[in-house]
Amino acid sequence: MKHKFTRTVLALLTSTVLLSFTKDSAMIEPKFLITSSDSSGTHNGPWKSKFLDVNKNGTITYHPDEQGNTIPDFSLVGYHHGSRPIPKLKLFKTLYPGKGDAGNMIQQAIDELAALPADKNGHRGTILLTKGSYPIAGTIHIKSDGIVLKGEGDQANGTKLIATGKGSRSLIEIKGSGQLTEIPGTRVNITDTYVPTGAKSFQVTDAKAFKAGDKIVLFRPGSSNWIKDLQMDQIIARQGTKQWQANDYNLSYEREITKINGNTVFIDNPVVMTIDQKYSTGAIYKCNFKGRLQEVGVENILFESEYASDIDEDHGNIAVDFDNIENAWVTGITARFFIYAAVSLNTGAKNVTVKDSKCLDAKSIITGGRRYSFNNNGQQNLFMNLETTEGRHDYVTGAKTAGPNVFYNCKSTNTHADIGPHHRWATGTLYDNIETDGQINVQDRGNWGSGHGWSGVTQVLWNCTVESAAVQNPWASGKNYAIGLKGKKVAGRLPGKPDGEWEGQDQKNLLPQSLFLAQLKAAGIKTP
């Protein structure tokens, strides 16, 4: 007892009482600053989350809540779900800088390569752009599988592609055709009353037409009672505000069947939003995506845009722009002075890896629709080892972005807005070891934009460092998590919203340090 008393007295003696006035009241509020060797002031040693255990053999045990929901497995994202390394394609042609616009030369080489047959892996070859500057007045288009555009470095003395002159545009556009399509007659309903977040199996009415390897859509229709419970039919209106409508929230998640056992269907990637019969009946159906590209890459290039002033908006918009593509990659690029993004993945982009890249010094006015440095609207995509400066929404998802998706080991400085799900119900994103001098927010954005409302669910912040963060749980359909976050916790835009799942705020030494890397190890996948 004597030792315990002595430790208590010493703790009190090394504490400093701070008196301060609150912002909204004249009432004096005591605060205690605990001084110790750990600047977090709350925890000195390693600690683990209550939501999961990493076992001695590297597997992970997830701890469900009262309804069976867990943090999902985010490991199967990026190029071929991480099962293959990014390939090195054979050299097709080497290009050299010349005088005048280089756009036609580069486009001609791409078109020549596209005319050749792809090999059994869907690969055609690499076009190498040697060191030097390549002015481009328009847009370079890649519309065929298996083409890699590669430079000799993203430094000033490397390969530089320059968006010259006027015109807001993408400098490189990589885009397939078509759209995700349901195969008629294959739809069957899910019979479970409740499918929890994190689940990789569920019951259907009749699974006999399905087999392992089938590409399917896990379909969760919107409903008016769900929108009512989310309170998204009562967004405080201003000019242009749109209340949410059920038909706009039919969510489609691409999955692959791994096993069938009777009428139980097992899928590769987890459910990232609860499927609850009280709101709607989920379903699955076979799908195809004719015209979708694959096996396209952009590597080791410095992209720059000419600009007239710091607020010029009539110049390069996006450096590398993807849509209607799967199993593709961007590595080792830097983009400077663009309006919108270094890399933007649109809704049809799936299993894309973007890594070891930078988006620096955007030039535009600082307001909506600009400076989304690394933007993702697709699914099962991986963004890792990235840096940004002077962005707004640096690592960001858009409306109804279907997860899982991962942002891992990314840094943002001199930011002008927040990181996170931007608007209208993104589902299933991991923000792992993100460091920013700004904010990461997961909240009800209310009538911002045309009525953003709840920005997302199953958004997991793991071991992130921020200036501040608002992480809230929506009124229905799941939770959001802030685990081991270092930085201020703030109330968010709107009062009275449910708190998210906060754990270990300002505590150092969270184990595992990276949830994503731990999940990769548990799945037997090498770090990309």
Which H, E and C letters describe 416-444, residue by residue? Answer: CCEEEECCCCEEEEEEEEEEECCEEEECE
Per-residue pLDDT of the chain (528 residues; tens, 9 = 90+): 333 333 333 333 333 333 232 333 322 223 222 222 233 345 579 999 999 999 999 999 999 999 999 999 999 999 999 999 999 999 999 999 999 999 999 999 999 999 999 999 999 999 999 999 999 999 999 999 999 999 999 999 999 999 999 999 999 999 999 999 999 999 999 999 999 999 999 999 999 999 999 999 999 999 999 999 999 999 999 988 999 999 999 999 999 999 999 999 999 999 999 999 999 999 999 999 999 999 999 999 999 999 999 999 999 999 999 999 999 999 999 999 999 999 999 999 999 999 999 999 999 999 999 999 999 999 999 999 999 999 999 999 999 999 999 999 999 999 999 999 998 999 999 999 999 999 999 999 989 888 899 999 999 999 999 999 999 999 999 999 999 999 999 999 998 999 999 999 999 999 999 999 999 999 999 998
Quick one: tokens of 369?
A: 């629709």
- Helix/strand/coil for 154: coil
Is 417 within 8 Å of 385 (Cβ atoms)? no
Place of tokens 């548990």: 522
Nearest to 245 by CA among 448, 400, 378: 400
Nearest to 420 by CA among 355, 367, 466: 466
- Helix/strand/coil for 97: coil
Quick one: tokens of 351?
A: 């299993």
Encode pLDDT of 123-142 as tens digits.
Answer: 999 999 999 999 999 999 99
Q: In angstroms, rounded to a whole number, what is the distance separating the alpha carbons of residues 202 and 464?
A: 33
What is the 8-class DSSP label of residue 520? H
Number of C-beta neighbours around residue 206 at 10 A: 10
For residue 43, the model assigns a pLDDT of: 53
Number of C-beta neighbours around residue 173 at 10 A: 16
Greatest distance between any 2 Cα atoms in the chain: 84
Q: Which residues contact 276 (CB under 8 A, 6 or more apart)?
A: 193, 194, 195, 477
Q: Which residues on adjacent β-strands are paired with residue 435?
A: 411, 465
Q: Which residues contact 434 (CB under 8 A, 6 or more apart)?
A: 395, 407, 409, 410, 411, 412, 419, 440, 461, 464, 465, 466
Q: In angstroms, rounded to a whole number, what is the distance separating the alpha carbons of residues 125 and 116?
A: 9
What is the 8-class DSSP label of residue 87? P
Count of helices and strands (H, E) across the chain: 4, 41
What is the 8-class DSSP label of residue 80? G
Quick one: tokens of 273?
A: 């939003």
Is 425 within 8 Å of 400 (Cβ atoms)? yes
Q: In angstroms, rounded to a whole number, what is the distance separating the alpha carbons of residues 152 and 142?
A: 20
Nearest to 195 by CA among 518, 478, 500, 528: 478
